[in-house]
Structure 1
Amino acid sequence: MLTKLIWLMAGAFAIGTEGFVIAGILPAVSRDLHVTIAQAGHLVMAFAFTYAIAAPVTATLTASWPFGRQLRLAMGGFTLANVIAALAPGFTALLIARVLLALFAGLFMAAAGSYAAASSEPSRRGRALALLYMGMTAATVLGVPLGTWVGNNFGWRATFWMIGLLSLVSLLGLTRLRPLTVPWPVPSLRERLRIAARPDVLMTLGVTLVCFAGIFGVYTYLSPLLRLVAGLSDDGVALALLSFGVCGAIGNLLGGHMADRFGALRVGGLALAVLGLVQAGLAWVAHAAPPQVAVYLVFGLIMAWGVVGWSFPPVQQVTLVQQAPQAVSVVLSLNASAMYFGIALGAWIGSLVVAADKVRSLPWVGAAGVFAAAGLAAVVRGRLRRAARRAQAAPLPA
């Protein structure tokens, strides 16, 4: 199975690195292109907003194509967009490149997920999807810290060249992909929207959106925050992102295991509560911690954030699958769109805070968003439990 999916994993690794590394090289982009940190944050907003809208649309428009054509088109376009980003003469050109990158990234991940599921037996599809998304997890552990180090030592353009090279390797491997066609009916865009309009699904998607808005209001500007609060150097920021990625990989595995053992609703609520406290702790450190201990507290909180924060996405996916077991692919794609809408919203809110010269207050944005998501999750949990009790109390048909 690993050899069958290795080039899909390589593509997911490149896309994951592209999506998250911008937070580590934001100051370098800002200095070189003569824009403020807040304006540079629009690069995150443009990528996330485009991904959220384009992913379900492009997946629907290309659904009848053979998988190989979808994947090669997406990765070829993604490779070219990285070259455009690396050669961008100014901020506007880089912004356009980020939009193109999101467009092709969304198409690739949707097609890759379908291919991984379609090429495996039903009893092994979970493991196939886990292998695919291991590429994304590896990006947070290796790709983002490496891309940050490269960008801070050789210039931010070198980071895009690096990702472009990774993308090209994946593209070359995809030329050897085993031909496969879609073995199941593909839902239309209207069917996707109809499922999203269900109150229980819509509220759960709202939890995803609000949580990620809070988190990425902080993560997008994590580099300037760490430099200001903990006095970290370029290498120190890369080390912090490495710690975050390693702990995130642990949290991702832990979240799925705990959801299976203790229930997704309970674990999700607990994860959000703890994550909110971590963000509040980071806010306290930013404003009140003595400078000589701030760096140690920051690293501890970053690691806790990685574990708890990355434990939440798989738990949220389990919640949605339980709500709509007949439409798994639809609810998971909707959850991805909600996540990226949240990232775009968080990047925008964070840019307002940074523009007001309130960088130390960014963690309060994170805390507010996560606690709001926890409150909404509690409402969802109550509604689902009441629905379950009504179903149990309903008389059986004669």
Structure 2
Amino acid sequence: MPLALLALALGAFGIGTTEFVIVGLLPEVAGDLSVSIPAAGMLVTGYALGVVVGAPLMTAAGNRLPRKTMLVVLMGVFIAGNLLCALAGDYGALMGGRLIASLTHGAFFGIGSVVAADLVAPDRKAGAIALMFTGLTLANVLGVPLGTFLGQQFGWRSTFWAVTAFGVVGLLGIIALVPAQPRPPGASLRGELAVFARPQVWLALLTTMLGFGAVFASFTYLAPMMTELAGFSDGAVAWLLVLFGAGLCVGNVLGGKAADRSLMPSLYVILGALAVVLVVFTFTARAPLPAAVTLAVFGAVGFATVPPLQARVMQQAEGAPALASAANIAAFNLGNALGAWLGGLAVDRGLGWTAPTWIGAGLAAAGLCTALLSGRADRRRAAGKRAAPLDSVLPAPRQGATTPPSPRS
């Protein structure tokens, strides 16, 4: 394992922690800044929107820079955003810090995926991407619970001081361990934008949005489903999230290995399995032990989608993958928002706490359909290349040449 992948994973850990840790600190933030909890909740929404906007903009802005230099710049901006959060004296300053930090999220994971893939052999690219994303999964398992505990004990600003310090560690790791990667010959913003003229790139982005939207449709409403239906206490939810996070780590590694062996078949199987697991979850969520077991499996299958989805976009954007890779991170976040919104809509309509999970199953099935369409287009294109027209294979007749007589004449 190249040590540079560890440095990228450290950066991913810090970014993942700052994205999700605010969820556990909403009461503390709301009380300290004298705002309502729904207003504090907008700090989550604002960050997600910043990711969607910042992913393509920051990647395009850094198109002329070497990739390592751009990663260093992104970590510097990330540190500045979290430092502003730690020093924030009012809600506006905190939101501003969150938005600054969010601008780096999509570009870091997008460019980092390209760098990680270039560090290893061609048959290990998805595994390298998965290793970088391990930092994001560990952020959910360790960073968010520890950051929440720290904020509850010493004030929410202490959490952002800790994330700022971790960002500095990630920055130093990138400077020391990531090798210089000059811009590819002929790379340009026009070339990066040109890949969006490929229908397969858009199909890959749509698959990401639908497939990961399936995860967040159910995950967003996990706490009430576990307490209201499965019978767990409120205090048990934190441990259930750790269990879910452990599943994420396992699924991330397995998804990367499977994608390296066979990308599209792995994606079909994982998306199909996700739809099945979510259907099963609607039944097992009514008893503690089956619910806990299914939750762990759900985490594993849900995050097993990430390496093949990211690798698929990079495959289809071959030659200029950085901007498309960052756009795929935006697609993940759009999926998060879509799944959470549809799940909340179902709950508001009185359809019960399992309704978001049924919606997640439907989104996973829709993602599988788009993946199958994309794979079919691949096969048709490959068949077209094999079956070249006959007149492109036979030499053209010379001028003045006569047609040879038939064997019967």
Settle same-fold status: TM greater than 0.5.
yes
How far apart, in 2, do the equivalents of 1:73 and 1:370 lie? 36
Give 1:195 deviation, angstroms.
1.6
Contact 2:10 2:135 in 1 (8 A): yes
| 1:200 to 1:121, Cα distance in 2 relative to 1, 3 A | closer
How far apart, in 2, do the equivalents of 1:233 and 1:100 lie? 37
1 or 2, which has the higher helix percentage? 1
For residue 345 of structure 1, the aligned residue among 332, 338, 349 is 338
How far apart, in 2, do the equivalents of 1:377 and 1:123 lie? 22
More RCO (CA 8 Å, sep 6+):
1
Q: Which residue of 2 aligns with 1:266?
A: 265
How far apart, in 2, do the equivalents of 1:18 and 1:338 lie? 19
Q: Which residue of 1 aligns with 2:46?
A: 46
| 1:171 to 1:352, Cα distance in 2 relative to 1, 3 A | same
| 1:274 to 1:30, Cα distance in 2 relative to 1, 3 A | farther
For residue 299 of structure 1, the aligned residue among 284, 289, 292 is 292
Counterpart residue identity of residue 325, structure 2 = L
Q: Which residue of 1 aligns with 2:380?
A: 386
Q: Which residue of 2 aligns with 1:99?
A: 99
Q: Which residue of 1 aligns with 2:281?
A: 282
Unaligned 5+ residue runs, structure 1? none
| 1:63 to 1:42, Cα distance in 2 relative to 1, 3 A | same
Q: Which residue of 1 aligns with 2:64?
A: 64
How far apart, in 1, do the equivalents of 2:172 and 2:260 lie? 38
| 1:226 to 1:188, Cα distance in 2 relative to 1, 3 A | farther
1:363 aligns with 2:357: yes
How far apart, in 1, do the equivalents of 2:298 and 2:362 lie? 15
Matches within 5 A, 1:1-398: 2-4=2-4, 6-25=6-25, 35=36, 41-65=41-65, 70-86=70-86, 88=88, 93-113=93-113, 120=119, 126=125, 129=129, 131-151=131-151, 156-173=156-173, 176=176, 180=180, 182-185=182-185, 187-233=187-233, 235-261=235-261, 263-285=262-284, 289=286, 293=287, 295-352=288-345, 360=353, 361-395=355-389, 397-398=392-393
Contact 1:16 1:140 in 2 (8 A): yes
| 1:353 to 1:189, Cα distance in 2 relative to 1, 3 A | farther
Give 1:110 deviation, angstroms.
4.4
How far apart, in 1, do the equivalents of 2:223 and 2:96 lie? 23
Q: Which residue of 1 aligns with 2:403?
A: none
Give 1:341 deviation, angstroms.
2.3
How far apart, in 2, do the equivalents of 1:132 and 1:153 lie? 31
How far apart, in 2, do the equivalents of 1:285 and 1:35 lie? 35
Give 1:148 deviation, angstroms.
4.1
Alignment length (residue pairs): 389
| 1:379 to 1:22, Cα distance in 2 relative to 1, 3 A | farther
How far apart, in 2, do the equivalents of 1:34 and 1:358 lie? 31
Identity %: 36
Contact 1:45 1:345 in 2 (8 A): no
| 1:124 to 1:217, Cα distance in 2 relative to 1, 3 A | closer
Give 1:205 deviation, angstroms.
1.3
Counterpart residue identity of residue 191, structure 2 = E
Give CA-to-partner distance per residue, 1:174-201, whole Å, 9 cap, x none. Answer: 5656783624147444433432232222
Q: SS in structure 1 opposite 2:18?
A: helix
How far apart, in 2, do the equivalents of 1:63 and 1:108 lie? 13
Q: Which residue of 1 aligns with 2:398?
A: none
How far apart, in 2, do the equivalents of 1:129 and 1:271 lie? 17
Q: SS in structure 2 opposite 1:326?
A: coil
Contact 1:41 1:347 in 2 (8 A): no
Give 1:308 deviation, angstroms.
0.8
| 1:65 to 1:34, Cα distance in 2 relative to 1, 3 A | same
| 1:193 to 1:371, Cα distance in 2 relative to 1, 3 A | same
Between 363-372 and 342-351, report the one with greater CA deviation: 342-351
Give 1:208 deviation, angstroms.
0.7
Contact 2:55 2:327 in 1 (8 A): no
| 1:187 to 1:363, Cα distance in 2 relative to 1, 3 A | farther
CA root-mean-square deviation? 3.6
Counterpart residue identity of residue 389, structure 1 = A
Give 1:123 deviation, angstroms.
6.7
Between 76-85 and 150-159, report the one with greater CA deviation: 150-159
Give 1:230 deviation, angstroms.
3.8
How far apart, in 2, do the equivalents of 1:107 and 1:338 lie? 12
| 1:269 to 1:106, Cα distance in 2 relative to 1, 3 A | closer
Between 121-130 and 132-141, report the one with greater CA deviation: 121-130
Unaligned 5+ residue runs, structure 2? 394-409
**TM-score between the two structures when normalised by the length of structure 2:** 0.79
